Amino acid sequence: MTLALPLLIVAQTGRTYGAPVLMATITNQVINESSGIAPSRRYPGEYYTHNDSGDSARFFRVGPSGDIRGTYSLKGVQARDWEDMASAQIDGKNYLYFGDIGDNNSQYSSVFIYRVEEPTGAGNQEIANFQKYEVTYPGGARNAETLMVDPKTGDIWIVEKKTGSGSIYRLRKPGKSGKYKFERRGSISFPDGLAPMRVITGGAVAPDGKHLVMRTYAFAYEFPIPGKGMESFLETTCSRIQTPPQVQGEAITYALDSNRLVTTSEGTPCAVWGITAQ
């Protein structure tokens, strides 16, 4: 059953966070529009990121000091507008998910999500073994920049980037490559700041599955996930978190311990900021 719409977030409760702290700076200009970020589960303390539209279907592993330790491309894939990514351990395997979900003109009949088993090794690698999910929305094309994966179920969640109220969609745990359909599960909006600053530009689920975060250009918002499942976050209230000053902040994720947020921005050099729960 779809929840009542829209959900307007006004109460601010839950965990509090400290001030943003600069963790590292990515100076290599090959990363010039960091649009998604997710923690490595194979290499603790390292993260993956990818560029926004205009780049090829590739992603990067970044070390704690901001150095690039691996560049990986998906064989035979053309990137249209990669906007967000996630990492999750599902059925005992460590996966990376990439959302080719950007559609500024709402013109595409379907979007693509790629699931890759986390690679090993450094240097430049081409990956041929991955899942490709072609997914359609109910009611036609949507523009989105937020992809989240429920670590307990493997379900994929997408949040529309829209001034006002953005719809929330779920793709129940997909398996083999193929065509799928999203279910609309509700909508969400944030009241803070001018309308253009309230669009949702990224999100992530904590590795322990107890919280999720979404961000706008101005703030981040964390929701608790009650024990009855991820969808129940729509029935909760959130904590507003101050993000660092960024040119165009879009990417956000959790560290593996689930107690620190990590965020980046488009542009080069690319600062990597951490915000720790108190």
- The predicted structure's pLDDT at residue 227: 81
The conformational region for residue 231 under phi > 0 = left, psi -120 to 50 = alpha, else beta, is alpha
Write the pLDDT tens digit of every residue in 200-230: 999 999 999 999 999 999 899 999 998 888 9
- The predicted structure's pLDDT at residue 13: 57
- pLDDT tops 60 at residue 124: yes
Write the pLDDT tens digit of every residue in 235-251: 888 999 999 988 788 89
Q: Round the average pLDDT of the chain to a whole number and report it.
A: 92
Write the pLDDT tens digit of every residue in 82-98: 999 999 999 999 999 99
- pLDDT tops 60 at residue 35: yes
Q: What is the mean pLDDT of the segment spanning 191-195?
A: 76
Write the pLDDT tens digit of every residue in 104-113: 999 999 999 9
The residue ranking higher by pLDDT, 121 or 21, is 21
Q: What is the mean pLDDT of the segment spanning 15-33?
A: 95
Give the predicted TM-score (pTM) of the model: 0.94
- pLDDT tops 50 at residue 2: no
- The predicted structure's pLDDT at residue 44: 94
Percentage of the residues of the chain whose pLDDT score is greater than 90:
79
- The predicted structure's pLDDT at residue 266: 87
Q: Does domain 7-276 have CATH number 1.10.3470?
A: no
C-alpha 139/C-alpha 136 separation (Å) is 9
When pLDDT is cut at 50, 70 and 90, the band that residue 3 belongs to is very low
Asked if 118 contacts 95 with a C-beta cutoff of 8 angstroms, the reply is yes
C-alpha 75/C-alpha 60 separation (Å) is 15
